[in-house]
Amino acid sequence: MQVSDIRNYFIKELKDERFTTDKTGQRTIEMLGSSFSANEPSIFGVPNEEYIDAEILWYMSHSPNINDIYSGDREPPLAWKYSANKYGEINSNYGLLIYSDKYHQQYGMAIDELMRNPDTRRATMVYNRPSIWVEYEENGKNDFICTNAVTYYIRDGKLHAVVQMRSNDVVFGYKNDYAWQLHVLKQLVDDLNTASSVDRELGYGDLDKEDLKVGNITWQVQNLHVYERHFDLVK
């Protein structure tokens, strides 16, 4: 399945009025257990590149406070406000989760694993955690991390990613999450190529080995959904 198949599925679900009501009483259309090739940056609508750039910079800052998304110059998006406590604190700064010492430098661990064993199935960065059951509502938060884990595979000279998500909003969530995952995938490719180049210069590895290329992103979501307020975009 590709993005076009997901798009057609939701168009049909809306046409057939196959609704599920969420905890707020809002109707949604949903797909359970979806798995598809993320071959387009958007399912419905157009990516907001200005916001995407700001969110990625915020992720890279490792700040768990949503007021830092725009450096205090403007209000953070409503979706983040809904997730944060009264101090602006959330759990889902994805840069913090994969780069920081607090969460065991998973990005660096994945690079080391891929360098040691290019055929590995262990190059996983875990975003969610068992303790989220008590942390998601800590001090008034409402942030149960949406991404479970991402695993990376070197196959046929390309680095591929498999993204596994607990929950994903089709309209805004997918666009922003896709941009982040593509950013990390490209950075991994660059860092692995740099490390391989240094190894070759030092006399290790295959001197004729070609650089890795960016591969495919497979998107797996336990609950992929569109909120009623976005039904007009399902077309």
Question: Annotated catalytic sites, by residue?
Answer: 146
Measured distance CA(230)–CA(234) in Å, rounded: 7
CB 193 within 8 A of CB 212: yes
> Residue 59 is which amino acid?
Y
Measured distance CA(163)–CA(72) in Å, rounded: 31
Kindly state the tokens that stand for 156: 């046929």
DSSP 89: B
Torsion angles phi and psi, residue 53, rounded to 5: -60, -40
> Which has the closest alpha carbon to 191: 105, 93, 63?
105
- Residue found by looking up tokens 């798009």 in the block: 7
> DSSP of 12-26, one letter per residue?
HHHHTT--EE-TTS-
> Residue 82 is which amino acid?
Y
Measured distance CA(54)–CA(232) in Å, rounded: 27
